[in-house]
């Protein structure tokens, strides 16, 4: 029994990838629903270019390949999340569910409460720090008095959760920042070294059992004896080792989603190609602006203008039905289509058959 087919279609340019993909698909006819090509997106210092990645994914979708296996995931966060954000804005807009789980969610998205969210209660004289934290800046305590920050969560289901705090370490910070972690019927104290540069980013605090509902989960206390204390986001994530039998089928997110836009402009290869009678040309824009998409013949003469207008950031498509600007049928043969924006120009060839 084969669950999934993941051939290594590792190539460093689109032409080679397309050749290898077609050859691989010919070896597995009739298995599109379990076929997921392995794509090399990072190896050592190599990180795949966004336009090459998007072109390859479009080739996959055009061949009814509905998913990929990426090697290696570190590429998604490289270059300030360039690839991750680009995929989220284009081919992976919807959350992906693991196959063969009957719609059940094994590890739902973690829940993060930032220090400036409405579900945070702040007491005392905390100072805003204009330096990179989890989302924007963070807070720091260096006052002579005392204060605290309490983090409240809407716990979506009853289970064990891992609790994390986001840390921006500094040599002047305390080495014993006092966190109180609240479980369903108890609490415990955890001390975290905020001065150690190894403790950068998300740091594990404790695992606690929580019932569904609005709960206070973390309290960070600041006092003169503690020295400088910094406060940023807190996160909870289900602990599947302690909660293996919890069944999650749906999570309703009432927050307003933030639309992620492509971080690069790219013109995709048309499909089908060769074509008769029509073909689809897709493109993605990293920002709004004027867009021109035109078709030319082999002598450089303009055949038709498909797009000549302002377009919003995001993904778009145009269909060429083989007609010229006068709505007359163009002759069969080789043509070129060109996308031009304020800061991007790209041309590809296509073949019209009759």
Q: What total of structural domains would you count in the chain?
A: 3
- As a whole number of Å, the end-to-end CA separation of the chain is 44
Give the per-residue pLDDT at 145. Answer: 77
pLDDT recorded at residue 257: 46
- List the one residue out of 53, 73, 61, 67 whose CA is nearest residue 263: 53
- Does 135 lie in the same domain as 200? yes
With vertex at residue 177, the alpha carbon angle to CA 171 and CA 183, rounded to the nearest 5 degrees, is: 150
87, containing H or E segment: helix 78-89
Select the highest-mean-pLDDT range: 132-136, 234-238, 244-248.
234-238
Model confidence pLDDT, tens digit, residues 170-198 = 998 999 999 999 998 899 999 999 999 99
- Which of residues 192, 222, 238 is at a domain's end? 238
Q: Is residue 164 part of a domain?
A: yes
Q: What is the pLDDT of residue 44?
A: 92
Mean pLDDT of 47-76: 93
What integer pLDDT is reported at residue 254 of this predicted model? 44
Q: What is the pLDDT of residue 256?
A: 44
Question: Is 234 buried (19+), middle (13-18) or exposed (0-12) by CB count in 10 A?
Answer: buried
Instruction: Report pLDDT digits (tens) over 67-86.
Output: 999 999 899 988 878 898 88
Cα four-point dihedral sign 76, 78, 83, 88:
positive
Q: Using CA atoms, how far apart are residues 145 and 225, in angstroms rounded to an integer?
A: 10
Statement to judge: residues 220 and 325 lie in one domain: no
pLDDT mean over 9-34: 94
Which residue among 55, 89, 123 closes a domain? 89
212 pLDDT tier (thresholds 50, 70, 90):
very high
**pLDDT top residue among 248 and 67:** 67
pLDDT band at 264 (very low <50, low <70, confident <90, very high): confident
Same domain (yes/no): 272, 329: yes
Instruction: For residues 268-275, give the mean pLDDT.
Output: 90
Show which of 89, 122, 150 is a domain's final residue: 89
Return the CATH number at 329: 2.60.40.4070
> If you average pLDDT over every residue of the chain, what do you get?
90
> Do 117 and 148 sit in the same domain of this protein?
yes
pLDDT in tens, 320-329: 999 999 999 9
The candidate with the shortest Cα–Cα distance to 151, out of 143, 159, 161, is 161
Q: What is the pLDDT of residue 255?
A: 46
Q: Tell whether 223 and 310 lie within a shared domain.
A: no
329 and 294 in a common domain: yes
Is 85 found in the same domain as 129?
A: no
The answer, yes or no, to whether residue 1 has pLDDT greater than 90, is no
Domain that includes residue 38, residue range: 14-89
């Amino acid at each position: 029994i084969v669950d999934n087919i993941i051939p290594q279609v590792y190539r460093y340019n689109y032409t080679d990838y397309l050749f290898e993909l077609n050859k691989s698909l010919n070896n597995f006819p009739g298995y599109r629903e379990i076929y997921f090509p392995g794509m090399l997106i990072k190896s050592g210092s190599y990180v795949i270019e966004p336009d090459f990645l998007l072109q390859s994914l479009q080739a996959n979708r055009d061949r009814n390949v509905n998913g990929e296996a990426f090697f290696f995931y570190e590429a998604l966060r490289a270059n300030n999340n360039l690839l991750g954000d680009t995929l989220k804005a284009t081919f992976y807009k919807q959350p992906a569910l693991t196959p063969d789980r009957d719609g059940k969610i094994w590890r739902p998205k973690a829940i993060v409460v930032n220090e400036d969210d409405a579900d945070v209660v702040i007491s005392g004289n905390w100072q805003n720090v204009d330096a990179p934290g989890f989302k924007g800046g963070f807070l720091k305590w260096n006052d002579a008095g005392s204060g605290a920050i309490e983090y409240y969560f809407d716990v979506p289901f009853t289970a064990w959760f891992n609790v994390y705090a986001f840390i921006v370490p500094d040599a002047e910070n305390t080495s014993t920042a006092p966190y109180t972690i609240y479980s369903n019927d108890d609490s415990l104290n955890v001390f975290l070294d905020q001065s150690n540069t190894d403790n950068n980013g998300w740091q594990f605090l404790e695992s606690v059992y929580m019932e569904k509902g609005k709960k206070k989960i973390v309290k960070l206390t600041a006092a003169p004896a503690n020295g400088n204390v910094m406060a940023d986001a807190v996160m909870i994530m289900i602990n599947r080792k302690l909660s293996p039998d919890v069944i999650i089928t749906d999570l309703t997110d009432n927050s307003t989603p933030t639309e992620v836009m492509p971080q690069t402009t790219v013109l995709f290869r048309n499909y089908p190609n060769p074509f008769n009678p029509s073909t689809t040309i897709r493109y993605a824009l990293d920002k709004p602006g004027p867009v021109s998409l035109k078709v030319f013949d082999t002598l450089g003469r303009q055949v038709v203008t498909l797009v000549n207008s302002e377009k919003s950031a995001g993904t778009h498509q145009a269909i060429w039905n083989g007609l010229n600007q006068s709505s007359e049928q163009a002759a069969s043969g080789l043509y070129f289509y060109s996308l031009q924006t304020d800061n991007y120009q790209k041309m590809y060839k296509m073949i019209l058959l009759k």
